[in-house]
Chain A
Amino acid sequence: MSILFSGRASGARANKIGAVRRFLMFFVHHFRQAIASLGELWRTPMASFLTILVLGLSLTLPATLHLLVKNAQQIGGGFAKAAEINLFIRDNTTEQQIKSLVTILSADSQVASVTHISKAQAMAEFQEASGFGAALNYLTDNPLPDVLVVLPTNTDPAAARALMQQLSNERIVEFAKLDLEWLTRLEAVVRLLQQAVIAIGLLLISAVLFIVSNTIRLSIISKREEIEVMKLVGATDAFIQRPFLYTGFWYGILGGVLAFLVSEGLLWWLRGAISDITSLYQSDFQIQPMNLIEFSAVIILAVLLGVVGSYLAVRKHIRAIEPSGP
């Protein structure tokens, strides 16, 4: 007896599979549909290639800008010593008073280090550096003040400026100096770049969502007849949606890898030019590539874009397709 007739002794009945097996098969089907969707990309090479290209290149721009911002921040960080505060001590201050202030500042959590440059040390350095060594010997009095060089714990310009204000109020301090203008400008440029990354990123993300959604919509339309048949034989919307969502997933993975490769390529291409600039400033600055966390973030963002773009299309269009009848 054919198995199509077996188990019908008590009359025809729908033959269902058990809950446990259904649960296990759920994952098996997901795996199969994921692999089948990869094959679907291969069957429509041009549309798939263009979608992956658009997704990859759209993510390349914000990814590369992010890397540039990150490296610019590093340049700023590398010049942390520029946040040194010079405290010029009043002329009639005693050695004891200066030592007391050094002790107080050394105990302050906002201060990383304090160095006392005495009047004599300052004169010696000046004689050596200025080239007026012999001429300075004719001075009857040392005109240079004692200086305390304070390195703040937090080298952020705003924090350093606040600390300078606080220290300039010390009784024995004539005035305080912090040369941070150029660092402030660099920070402003970096902030501007960060905002540009966010704005450009948001615009490109919208474009990517639209493009992925449109590609999947066209794919759904081309499979309308197939979807109708599947619905007629009992497929749920979720079952029909799944391959399209996996297609979006693969678009994301491949687009993300493309974005990584192109942005690393751009960085490699810029490396020579950046090295030329930094060597002019005697800096041994090394450009930092994408790290594992950033790479993972690019891939996750790309996959999210692929899946969300697909979902926007399938939610609307698969639900709208209804069988036209036997």
Chain B
Amino acid sequence: MLQFDQVSKSYPGGFVALERINFRIAKGEMVFLTGHSGAGKSTILKLISMIERPSTGRVMINNIDLSRLKRSQVPYVRRDVGIIFQNHRLLMNHTVFDNVALPLVIEGFTGKEMVKRVHAALDKVNLLDKQRCLPETLSGGEQQRVGIARAVVNKPPLLLADEPTGNLDPELSRDIMQVFEAFNQVGVSVLVATHDLGLIARMRYRTLTLKHGRMINDGLMPLQEPI
């Protein structure tokens, strides 16, 4: 599903964000990505979401080499990646329904099919009754769930989540992780970038640990191991 093959990324000025990163996430696998600030988590997410291109190496999604992708093809590959942002990135002057429907509208869905899918996504995150609200009237946790609904509504085979529980209380965090698990159980690959070691320890999934742009661990993280 997702493969990093000897991927390095350096920025003008000489800062090396990633150095020879190798990993592979299989179809239907759920993986955590962790590390301290500046370790390279965000760079990995940017490479997968095609905001950045690797300096060397290959990033592959479904055997498509993203580093060789033409600019015009990028939007079509992005549709196969559901992204959940830490700061939600919702359209504040559009309703919850419109926000969630956006990926479907872009893909060409209309009418009943679109409404059915949006309702299903909102139902999954328990926000069906808020579909006519503007995002600014929702709490941080609710906004995060709108972001999740938007990410899953067009059934992408890969979900990326950047600190999805960062601003939430433990109970809400658990609910949200259960949503990810539900999607993972039906074959969606999920990559969750988080600082929350407690969450990682509780959920016991494969974890990629980064430090100064290098991969220092790939596997189940020992309980409460300091990074």
Contacts and interface: CB of A to CB of B under 8 A. Distances in A.
A11 B156 CA distance: 11
B72 to A, nearest CB: 8
B186 A8 contact: yes
Contacts of B28: 11-12
A11 B27 contact: yes
A316 interface: no
Interface string B52-82: 1000000000000000000010011011100
Contact of B106 (A4, A10, A233): A233
B21 interface: no
B13 interface: no
B215 interface: no
Interface string B138-163: 00000000000010111111101010
A324 B51 contact: yes
Contacts of A185: none
Contacts of B123: 2
Contacts of B91: 226, 229
A2 B52 CA distance: 34
Given A11-B187, A14-B80, A239-B106, A231 B75 contact: yes
Interface residues on B, range: 35 or more
Contact of A14 (B46, B150, B157): B157
B78 A232 contact: yes
Contacts of A29: 105, 108, 110
Contact of A5 (B76, B158, B186): B186
A232 B89 contact: yes
Listed residue (A14, A17, A22) with the most chain B CB atoms within 10 angstroms of its CB: A14
Contacts of B121: 4
Interface in B86-122: 86, 89-91, 102-103, 105-110, 116-117, 120-121
Contacts of B78: 231-234
A16 B51 contact: no
Contacts of A2: 120, 123-124
B106 A3 contact: no
Contacts of B210: none
B216 to A, nearest CB: 22
B28 to A, nearest CB: 6
A131 interface: no
A90 B141 CA distance: 109
B187 A8 contact: yes
B194 interface: no
B86 to A, nearest CB: 7
Contact of B49 (A5, A13, A232): A232
A323 B155 CA distance: 22
A325 interface: yes
Interface in A279-308: none
A208 B135 CA distance: 38
Contacts of B187: 8, 10-12
A235 interface: yes
B27 A233 contact: no
Contact of B75 (A11, A22, A235): A235
A26 interface: yes
Nearest to A228: B89
A217 to B, nearest CB: 20
A326 B46 contact: yes
B155 A233 contact: no
A89 to B, nearest CB: 81
Contact of A8 (B49, B75, B105, B155): B155
A323 B110 CA distance: 26
Contacts of A323: 49, 51
Contacts of B102: 229-230, 233
A219 to B, nearest CB: 13
A322 interface: yes
Interface of A: 2-5, 7-8, 10-17, 21-22, 25-26, 28-29, 225-226, 228-236, 239, 322-326
Given A22-B108, A323-B51, A326-B46, 7 more contacts: A4-B121, A5-B183, A14-B80, A226-B91, A232-B83, A233-B83, A325-B52
11 contacts: A2-B124, A11-B28, A11-B187, A12-B28, A13-B157, A14-B156, A22-B108, A25-B108, A229-B91, A323-B51, A326-B162
Q: Which 9 A-B pairs have the closest CB atoms?
A: A234-B79, A11-B187, A12-B187, A12-B157, A326-B162, A234-B78, A25-B108, A12-B188, A8-B186
